[in-house]
Structure 1
Amino acid sequence: MTRSHTIAILPGDGIGPEVVSCALEVLDAAETRYGFTTTRTEYAAGANHYLETGELFTEVQDQLRDADAILFGSMGDPRVTPGILERGFILEMRQRFQQAANVRPVRLYPGVPTPIAGLTPERCELVIVRENTEGAYVGQGSTVHAGTPNAVAMQESLNTRAGIERVVDFSFRLALGRRKKLTLCHKTNILVAAGQLWQEVVADVAQRYPEVETDYVHVDAMCFHLPLTPERFDVVVTDNLFGDIITDLGAVIQGGLGVATSANLNLDATAPSMFEAIHGSAPDIAGKGWANPSGAILSLALMLGHLGEGDAAQAIEAATVEVLGSLPALAGADMGATTAELGTRIADIVRSGRANTELVPDSLLATLAALPASR
């Protein structure tokens, strides 16, 4: 029987439609080569749809819930007040669909330039797992005396043991299949209450995984150690806000936002997970063919690994690495090819079966679905 998957496509705003189009061209090639099929439905979510209808996530959540996975482009537009789309769609989906773990590989691929002098691919291969539904992003806050010299703003950060434990347990399972080291990143000397809860949960869950070594690093120290000694880290688990910050630092280390990918994982199969590049909508270059589609294509690989199509995921990652290594620049007018041309190059390698999987022999993207079962 042919394997089949139902995919919801959210191209979104800015460069999102361009890079998603490339990812879908690669998906066509992978289906031809690896013998599975997908049923795809595209949804008009984003700035244009919001400005025309006022609709955000609530109006499409029932349709999206039926999908096996969601492939997302980007969201954000200068015509829409900052926060409306981000909070009303992206964060709302993460919370409604309980996409509890944001998983971001930080991997320097062969041939990809990095701004860190002397850094080699052998030294940079880690995963940051960010709690994705709580912390400072729950949206609870208020402003009194707004617009006056006496304005006061309060913003709450929510941390629950249940929310922390599910993402910590996932991180231990991920570490168990890798180099068996887990690092908690927080700010326990200042954020004492939240930090203590995180530390208690890590200590308790660690008893289930005696094979995994544990470590702790303050978030400010992480900003120092991550670019200079990334080899120190295997799996890093952290809260929502800290994770948002240090993963962008990780993306710079691995070559830039255009080559970084992420998964927003529902850990109990009650709703679909979402896969996206982390570069944002970049409206200033939309339509110019200057966007690097690699982040979106690697997100496709991560999605296919999650769906059990490990061979296709590894081939897509390897093909992307091969093309990335040949570029004179990783983004902009100097890439040596347009966005669409890069997508076609990667798709052709996948379709032909010429992908050199030795470039990614231990692919996280291919093996995500094979995590050890929860204990």
Structure 2
Amino acid sequence: MKNYHLAVFPADGIGPEVIAASQQVLRQLEQLHGGLRFETREFGWGSAHYEHTGAMMPADGLQQLERGGFDGLLMGPVGSPAIPDHVTLWGLLLPIRQGFDQYVNLRPMRQLDGVASPLRNAGQHPIDMVCVRENSEGEYAGVGGRVHRSQPQEVAVQSIVFTRTGTERVMRFAFDYARQQSRRLVTNVTKSNSMQHNMVFWDDVFRAVAADYPTQATDQQLVDSMTARMVSQPETVDVFVASNLFGDILTDLGAALTGSLGLAPSANLNPERRYPSLFQAIHGSAFGLVGQNVANPIASIWSVQMMLEFLGETELAARLMQAIESVLREQRVRTRDLGGSHSTTDMTAAVCQALAAGS
């Protein structure tokens, strides 16, 4: 019997609903594979924890997770309209990303059969993009401060931090990923025309890393024109590597182009596996939908699929991806974000049924 130990964070808003759907899929996978068990331990960290304690997680939260010996972390969306966004982000998700050196944020953006894109010519130009986002420093390094608060002379400074180690390792991951997945192109997303220090450094490192992969096609795109390229020529975008902020923004655009933020998964990876990696849908907590059973669980379920792949359960990962694709292709079940009226429960059941049927 192979046991995987997972830490589960339902977190905020619709998080408990989509995480419950993901756990239902895990139970279905256990039934399909009798020699496999996913042992889960739930953590009630998030906005409710903040309201009771003044912190998003306990002071020893990372130590608790390390002692737990977890193989993976599965998290719902984080954020509450009652708490400033910078408090929720810096109180839970970023400490885990940085503390566990999850320096790769892997975000696939693929238009699946049966899902309409807002692009008029999406059928002629298929969308199949993957962002490798630097996830531990850059614009989200947290270096800076404010002085003379609330005074006319108040100053706010936020510094962007790129290290050679941090930049090189995420770029090398992008090239290795492209090679392993037989991807044709790696694009460097930059803004070195105006940011003459850090982004020129970023470009220099990209060229140095690219030299070690002479057979891999590459190109370079300024981040502002990259947004236009993703809309007008999505078929030319394959794998792109971007800084923390640029990757964050571009992948929200990419998710919208593929049909819905409700279909957008992500993996926060420590590739060396010194720490557990975290898997999470990229959509928000959507408090306006809480308790209505209408949230699309696919992004969270797809994040489970990415977790399985990272854990080496490639056959199960492929089977789950096939089930997701089958349900969306057949279009019998559509949640509100996809133009339908089916529930979270309906969509989850459809994926589980497709798994059981071997679709």
Q: TM-score, normalised by structure 1?
A: 0.90
What's the counterpart of residue 350 of structure 1? 355
Instruction: List structure 1 runs of 4+ shifted beyond 4 angstroms.
Output: 327-330
The offset of 1:330, in angstroms, is 4.5
User: Could you tell me how far apart the structure 2 residues matched to 1:312 and 1:297 are?
Assistant: 13
The offset of 1:14, in angstroms, is 0.2
Q: Tell me, yes or no, if the aligned pair for 1:104 and 1:128 is still in contact at 8 Å.
A: yes
User: Could you tell me how far apart the structure 2 residues matched to 1:158 and 1:327 are?
Assistant: 48
User: Could you tell me how far apart the structure 2 residues matched to 1:336 and 1:161 are?
Assistant: 49
- Residue 336 of structure 1 pairs with residue 335 of structure 2: no
User: Could you tell me how far apart the structure 2 residues matched to 1:138 and 1:247 are?
Assistant: 19
CA offsets 1:103-125 (integer angstroms, 9 cap, x no match): 00010000101100111386211
Structure 1 letter corresponding to 2:356: R
Output the aligned Cα RMSD. 1.7
User: Could you tell me how far apart the structure 1 residues matched to 2:64 and 2:326 are?
Assistant: 36
Q: Tell me, yes or no, if the aligned pair for 1:324 and 1:330 is still in contact at 8 Å.
A: no
What's the counterpart of residue 235 of structure 2? 231
Q: Tell me, yes or no, if the aligned pair for 1:94 and 1:133 is still in contact at 8 Å.
A: yes
Structure 1 letter corresponding to 2:93: I
What's the counterpart of residue 44 of structure 2? 44
1:311-330 → structure 2 map (5 Å cutoff) = 311-325=315-329, 326=331, 330=335
- Residue 173 of structure 1 pairs with residue 176 of structure 2: yes
Q: Tell me, yes or no, if the aligned pair for 2:117 and 2:259 is still in contact at 8 Å.
A: yes
What's the counterpart of residue 65 of structure 2? 64
Structure 1's unaligned 5+ residue stretches are: 356-375
Q: Tell me, yes or no, if the aligned pair for 2:336 and 2:342 is still in contact at 8 Å.
A: no
Q: For structure 1, which segment, 154-163 or 112-121, has the greater mean C-alpha deviation from structure 2 after superposition?
A: 112-121
1:8-47 → structure 2 map (5 Å cutoff) = 8-35=7-34, 36-47=36-47
CA offsets 1:9-66 (integer angstroms, 9 cap, x no match): 0110000000010111111111211342111111111111121123434432123232
Q: Tell me, yes or no, if the aligned pair for 2:186 and 2:238 is still in contact at 8 Å.
A: yes
The offset of 1:301, in angstroms, is 0.5
Q: For structure 1, which segment, 176-185 or 141-150, has the greater mean C-alpha deviation from structure 2 after superposition?
A: 141-150
What's the counterpart of residue 85 of structure 2? 82
What's the counterpart of residue 269 of structure 2? 265
What is the total number of aligned residue pairs between the two structures? 353
User: Could you tell me how far apart the structure 2 residues matched to 1:143 and 1:53 are?
Assistant: 25
SS in 1 for 2:27: helix
CA offsets 1:77-125 (integer angstroms, 9 cap, x no match): 1222321111111111100000001000010000101100111386211
Q: For structure 1, which segment, 161-170 or 203-212, has the greater mean C-alpha deviation from structure 2 after superposition?
A: 203-212
SS in 2 for 1:215: strand
Structure 2 letter corresponding to 1:221: S
Percent pairwise identity = 37
CA offsets 1:246-278 (integer angstroms, 9 cap, x no match): 000000011111001000000211101100101
Q: TM-score, normalised by structure 2?
A: 0.94
The offset of 1:135, in angstroms, is 1.1
Structure 1 letter corresponding to 2:346: E
